[in-house]
Structure 1
Amino acid sequence: MTSSVSTRKSALPPLTPGPHRERLGLISIVACFGGLLFGYDTGVSNGAEHPMQLELGLDNLSLGVAISSLVFAAAVGALLGGQVSDAWGRRRAIILFAVLFFSGTLFVVFSPNFGLLVAGRILVGLAVGGASTVVPVYLAELAAVEIRGSITGRNELAIVIGQLAAFVMNAIIGTVLGDLDGVWRIMFSVCALPAVALFVGMLRMPESPRWLIEKGHHEQALAVLKTVRSEERAIAELAEVQRLAAEERGHHQVGVRAILTNKWLIRILLVGIGVAVAQQLTGINSIMYYGQRVLIEAGFTASAALVANIASGVFAVIGGIVALHNMDKVDRRKTFAIGLSLTTACHLLIGTASMTLPVGNALRPYVLLFLIVAFVFSMQSCLNVAVWVWLAEVFPLHMRGLGIGVAVFFGWFVNALLALFFPSLVTAVGITGAFFLFAGIGAVALLFVVTQVPETRGRSLETLEQDITSGTAYDFRKTNRVTQEAPAAPSR
């Protein structure tokens, strides 16, 4: 296997600098407005939820419904988004999500009651879920193997930048305009601006060349590849993708039928679901949605918690930058294992500190803030970016949209359950019980990653597809040798 992989990789001309690299960079920036919207729309509730609850007279369960409705809808959006992108194309699907982002924001901002608020959150959630599946796939299919991790990972960095922007805007708006009725509507209204930028920008971006080849549009695919590669490299990549697509058609391997008739494809789908669910069960989005509430529970006042919450956003961005730096240098499996070890340790420390430092202790809020920030940094630097990159890489082309859609559907569904019940969980068992629970789940997730997750770094999507379909990707000793032999990403 090692030699065959090396042969296929060496057949591709080296990646060279030039205008095509700048073009790929521009495409990634525009597409990542989808990630920015994902981040802002999921983070804006962390600060807006308290005044929204007071104005609309919501109890804790109704508030959980208002917050989690976006996340439940995101699960559906992830499932449908992958299939829409397989049928319509990655580019047109992202344009559709931009329209949903904008429309849902208008519903939320101008909602006179709970019902229309939830309707708006559902529209935004469909867009969030769709973007979470399609944008990483779009970037992975456009990027060269040598820089695929760092290009695809930019979307996760955009997500945490969006969340940080939401935290900062909430703090500014809450401090300056906190006495106004409907201040939470102003916080949500900011979402409309990047939605317009995404819509306008994607009108000028190309379609995924791999999707074009899958649909038989080879000349268009080559034209796109020539804008993001040297001409020699574009021709070589086109030939490789064409060869694999022809093999798939010859074996009638398409979508659901291919999955159900191949035990290795069933296995990778189940592993993908497990990775997406494990990411959510770290509890990261409980902090991103309800960080202010957790910090109030830790001992901060409401206004101080709103400002202190920015620290999580700042270190999430720093962690995302660290992750991008390492994405094409460190194996995905190793990154997952380190990340789950660190986050589980943070969970244990948060639970222990909450138990040993009683309410009223002057150190309690600051110790818990430090540990929560350490957890967020560990999550972003080792897990979040790597998980989204891995999900965008691991599924074969003929089932990529469906595979990532199903995996992310389950991830978003678990996320939604946490969003719905986390306020009640903290009320019932406090910070101590909640984070000890996350620690136990983290230990199980670590065992799962070490024993089940195949490596994806350092291989072309076509080579990886053959290894996944044949089951050789699960021979971790051989795949480790392949990634160690993979060339480093060239400098720009």
Structure 2
Amino acid sequence: MKKNMNPRKFLFIIIICSTFGGLLFGYDTGVINGALPYMSKESQLNLTPFLEGLVTSSLLFGAAMGAIIGGRFSDRIGRKKTIIFLAVLFFFATLGVSFTPSVTLMIIFRFLLGLAVGGASVTVPTYLAEMAPSESRGRMVTQNELMIVTGQLLAFTINAILGNTMDGNDSVWRIMLLIAAVPAVVLFFGMLPLPESPRWLMKNEKKDHAMGVLHKIREKSNVRGEYNQIDATVIMEEKLDKATYKDLTVPWVRHILFLGIGIAIVQQITGVNSIMYYGTEILRDAGFSTNAALTANISNGVISVLATFVGIWLLGKVGRKPMLLVGQFGTLTALLLIGTSSLVLEGTAALPYIVICLTVMFLGFQQGAISPVTWLMLAEIFPLRLRGLGMGISVFCLWMVNFGVSFIFPILLAGIGLSFTFFIFAVLGVGAIAFVMKFLPETKGKTLEEIESYFKKRENQKEDIKTKAL
């Protein structure tokens, strides 16, 4: 990289290269949507609804493990090195799932692929949050969300193209999965010349190196002020022991972890990934043929990308909490309408078209409001010393809920039908709205250090009130 490159251009390069981790996240979770119908037909696999759920959710269980491991790993060896390692894991796990001869090996390699997905889901947003100036942190971090949904759109589009051009070839799913090896290579080579996070460098006593990175990614007038702010935070935290799970017993840290886990669960219990992973199956259940469902499902990917652009723009205009609430009310409405229309219009020619319109509506609110806020807040609420650990635990919970939803969805679909399955998600959505209204604070416009200070002061005020009461 050129030493005199404009900081904005350099940050743009950092965003593009690192968010290929998000692209892989999106492609590897979305590609199963179109691959499942063909995997179920192939005699080598012969998937039942139970095995469909297991194959799909094995990646998500791996992602839950990867979130924990990735968070700790990135704290130990650095954000950059962790992302490079994940690129290697993405590549070899992709080869494994593409050429597997049995369902058992498929599940094992999907789990390994999940480790990479989970690690990326923690490390890439953390890296971006720590590279970004406070005034544009929301926009930078949500670029990863944009790449996730772009990866899913890419998967849906490739699925539709291959499914329609190679109709009759039950092994077409192997090509669908194999394509993910390409962005893994791009991520590996793209990350090699990029710098490490200045916050991680400061924490690991590489202050000169951190200053050099800040000069590359900030305007000269802002370098010294941010350096001093990070340095003050690190010095204060050096007085404390190394971050361990015992730190989570500290009341103000425990409160942040409670919020982090809650935010993660709120994103998943809308049932968003039942649509992202089983959209083709949902549309087939509603009445579309396989090829028509593959093509119609592209609209889910398109609206996800467009809505994410809107979400990125909104993050600079409105607060995190109202944006999340609007998204929750919108998805709840869509879920109720999907359930009702599936019940009332079952067997009619209009149903599949109504369902695709409602899933598009659902994803508009989900990807335009809920998902951008989720990943941004998870990246910004935890203090520096505990960021990797805290975000790792929160994202672990996110992936475990994702795992549960994805495993049970095809079983519910086969057992109680489309309408009642979505009514269940609607009930959970009501609980999610209640959580956001009661517990979520506003973090818009605050630096990472100011957010940490807010939670500490809040806990001190609570202690003072208790002391006075006694």
- TM-score (norm: length of structure 2): 0.95
Does the residue aligned with 1:454 lie in a helix, a strand or coil?
coil
How far apart are the structure 1 equivalents of 2:233 and 2:342?
Answer: 55
Aligned partner of 1:437 in structure 2 is 424
Match among 303, 309, 325 for residue 321 of structure 1: 309
**Mapping of 1:53-132 within 5 angstroms?**
53-55=40-42, 56-132=45-121
**Mapping of 1:347-358 within 5 angstroms?**
347-358=335-346
Shift of 1:470: 2.9
Q: Is the 8 A contact 1:148 1:328 kept in 2?
A: no
**Does residue 1:283 correspond to 2:278, yes or no?**
no
How far apart are the structure 2 equivalents of 1:112 and 1:474?
Answer: 60
Does the residue aligned with 1:150 lie in a helix, a strand or coil?
helix
**Does residue 1:331 correspond to 2:296, yes or no?**
no
**Does residue 1:208 correspond to 2:197, yes or no?**
yes
**Does residue 1:187 correspond to 2:184, yes or no?**
no
Shift of 1:50: 1.0
Q: Is the 8 A contact 1:67 1:419 kept in 2?
A: yes
How far apart are the structure 2 equivalents of 1:26 and 1:473?
Answer: 41
Q: Deviations over 1:413-439 (max 9, x none)?
A: 010111111001111121111111111
Shift of 1:257: 3.6
How far apart are the structure 2 equivalents of 1:391 and 1:450?
Answer: 17
Aligned partner of 1:369 in structure 2 is 356
Change (3 A) 1:148 1:342: same
Does the residue aligned with 2:270 lie in a helix, a strand or coil?
coil
Match among 160, 174, 177 for residue 171 of structure 1: 160
Shift of 1:173: 0.7
Q: Deviations over 1:256-309 (max 9, x none)?
A: 34322x211101101111110111110000100000110111111111111100
Q: Which moved more, 1:248-257 or 1:89-98?
A: 248-257
Shift of 1:253: 7.0
Q: Deviations over 1:20-41 (max 9, x none)?
A: 0110011011000000000000
Shift of 1:181: 4.1
Does the residue aligned with 2:416 lie in a helix, a strand or coil?
helix
Aligned partner of 2:292 in structure 1 is 304
AA aligned to 2:324 is F
**Does residue 1:158 correspond to 2:147, yes or no?**
yes
How far apart are the structure 2 equivalents of 1:175 and 1:375?
Answer: 26
Aligned partner of 2:435 in structure 1 is 448
Aligned partner of 1:268 in structure 2 is 256
AA aligned to 1:424 is I
How far apart are the structure 2 equivalents of 1:66 and 1:419?
Answer: 10
How far apart are the structure 2 equivalents of 1:382 and 1:460?
Answer: 21
Shift of 1:255: 4.1
Match among 188, 199, 208 for residue 219 of structure 1: 208
How far apart are the structure 2 equivalents of 1:24 and 1:469?
Answer: 31
AA aligned to 1:325 is W
Shift of 1:252: 4.2
AA aligned to 2:267 is Q
Change (3 A) 1:474 1:206: farther
How far apart are the structure 2 equivalents of 1:363 and 1:166?
Answer: 27
How far apart are the structure 1 equivalents of 2:33 and 2:280?
Answer: 6
How far apart are the structure 2 equivalents of 1:84 and 1:462?
Answer: 23
Aligned partner of 1:461 in structure 2 is 448
How far apart are the structure 1 equivalents of 2:342 and 2:91?
Answer: 41
- What 5-or-longer segments of structure 1 have no aligned partner? 1-17, 476-492
Q: Is the 8 A contact 2:69 2:119 kept in 1?
A: yes
Shift of 1:117: 1.2
Q: Deviations over 1:327-358 (max 9, x none)?
A: 12211111111110111111111111111112
Match among 44, 50, 69 for residue 31 of structure 2: 44
How far apart are the structure 2 equivalents of 1:452 and 1:427?
Answer: 36
Shift of 1:324: 0.8
How far apart are the structure 1 equivalents of 2:149 and 2:73?
Answer: 26
How far apart are the structure 1 equivalents of 2:421 and 2:295?
Answer: 23
Shift of 1:468: 1.9
Q: Is the 8 A contact 2:261 2:395 kept in 1?
A: yes
Q: Deviations over 1:440-460 (max 9, x none)?
A: 111111110111112221011
Q: Which moved more, 1:52-61 or 1:163-172?
A: 52-61
Shift of 1:473: 11
- TM-score (norm: length of structure 1): 0.91
Q: Is the 8 A contact 1:70 1:122 kept in 2?
A: yes
Match among 416, 420, 426 for residue 413 of structure 2: 426
Does the residue aligned with 1:206 lie in a helix, a strand or coil?
coil
How far apart are the structure 2 equivalents of 1:247 and 1:113?
Answer: 54
How far apart are the structure 2 equivalents of 1:253 and 1:126?
Answer: 25
Shift of 1:231: 2.1
How far apart are the structure 1 equivalents of 2:221 and 2:154?
Answer: 41
TM-align CA RMSD: 1.4
How far apart are the structure 2 equivalents of 1:284 and 1:465?
Answer: 30
Aligned partner of 1:489 in structure 2 is none
How far apart are the structure 2 equivalents of 1:195 and 1:325?
Answer: 28
| Percent identity for Structure 1 against Structure 2 | 44
Q: Is the 8 A contact 1:97 1:131 kept in 2?
A: yes
Shift of 1:471: 2.3
How far apart are the structure 2 equivalents of 1:473 and 1:225?
Answer: 33
How far apart are the structure 2 equivalents of 1:164 and 1:97?
Answer: 22
Q: Is the 8 A contact 2:49 2:414 kept in 1?
A: no
**Does residue 1:294 correspond to 2:282, yes or no?**
yes
Change (3 A) 1:290 1:474: farther
Aligned partner of 1:345 in structure 2 is 333
Does the residue aligned with 2:205 lie in a helix, a strand or coil?
coil
Q: Deviations over 1:148-184 (max 9, x none)?
A: 0000000000000000000000000111112224110
